[in-house]
Structure 1
Amino acid sequence: MNNVKDLNKWANAHSYFTLDLLRIALGVFLFVKGVKFITNIQYLVELISPIDKIGGGMFLVHYITPAHMIGGIMIAFGLLTRWAIIAQLPILMGAILVNFMGEMHTENLFLALGILAICLFFLVYGSGKHSADYYFKMSQ
């Protein structure tokens, strides 16, 4: 628990508005990706078809879309950012794995790697000063 508090203190001391804009952009991107998946379920089913051989295809369809939409909103507002990112990590690792198990789409692979790197950064950095977490913490 002290590690998280130390990370939050460090992040709040080194908070920059551009990092908050990057967090908001990440949240909006994940939300839009979730909306894209929910409006075109067949596209999502085709994307996860290489992993579907393992099993749990319908579970994945019903996990990916809400996790992107709800997690994207939470990340954009900075509400429970680390928890929302932890929910995104299996999806992003699966997106990378799909490219190696099925047909290789380099643009999707680089996009997934970039989003994974940004998520890992915010997993360590936290939500920053311009977030709902910081607001609620200061209003206590």
Structure 2
Amino acid sequence: MTAIERIEHWGDAHHPAWLDIVRIGLGLLLFFKGMSFIGDTSQLSALTEGLHFNAWSYVAVHYVAFAHLVGGLLITLGCLTRLASALQVPILFVAVFFTNIRNGFTAVNSELWLSLVVLVLLIVFWIIGSGKFSFDEYVRNHPAYKMK
């Protein structure tokens, strides 16, 4: 058993049901954040301008919006939760350590704190997986999807 398989097994064995509610809330938050980025791309462009990516800001805006929409939906449903969380982590890492930190660690900088909490939750769900009330669990236990 590889290290990754051991981590997945540990995560599947130690997943309380209340974390499914947190997972669904996290997924909805990411989905609606993606919707707000699509609705106002100038806000996301302004955030990426300070990073001096130049040509990459256009790509970054679209990647972040798409990743939040699709990843948020997948996390909400509990489908490929580990993969969806892993794809979100780089976005939140940049948001926490490069974009939002410029305003400082103050109580007023709520965007930084929200990004930090979401980053921690994504890492948690990357490790422990989707849980009992998820599409992944349904597929794993449904007789029609069992390996023959």
Unaligned stretches of 5+ residues in structure 1: none
1:16 equivalenced with 2:16 (yes/no): yes
Tell me which amino acid in the other structure corresponds to 1:118.
Answer: L
**Counterpart position of 1:99:** 100
**Counterpart position of 1:87:** 87
Instruction: Tell me which stretches of 4 or more aligned residues in structure 1 moved more than 4 Å.
Output: 102-105
Residue 134 (structure 2) aligned to one of 131, 134, 139? 131
**Counterpart position of 2:118:** 115
Deviation per CA, 1:29-52: give whole Å up to 9, x if none.
00000001101111111122111x
Give the drift of 1:137.
Answer: 1.3
Give the drift of 1:58.
Answer: 0.4
Query: How large is the RMSD of aligned CA atoms in angstroms?
Result: 1.7
**How many residues are matched?**
138
Give the drift of 1:103.
Answer: 4.5
- The 8 Å contact of residues 77 and 135 in structure 2, kept in 1 or not, is answered as yes
In structure 1, distance between residues paired with 2:111 and 2:66: 20
Give the drift of 1:135.
Answer: 1.0
User: Aligned runs of 1:17-36 on 2, under 5 Å?
Assistant: 17-36=17-36
In structure 2, distance between residues paired with 1:57 and 1:11: 36
In structure 1, distance between residues paired with 2:57 and 2:103: 18
In structure 1, distance between residues paired with 2:15 and 2:38: 34
Give the TM-score of the pair, scaled to structure 2.
Answer: 0.85
Cα 1:133–1:2 change in 2 (3 A) is: farther
Cα 1:85–1:77 change in 2 (3 A) is: same
Q: Larger C-alpha radius of gyration, 1 or 2?
A: 2
Identity of matched residues, %: 36
Unaligned stretches of 5+ residues in structure 2: none
Q: Residue 48 of structure 1: SS of its match in structure 2?
A: helix
**Counterpart position of 1:69:** 69
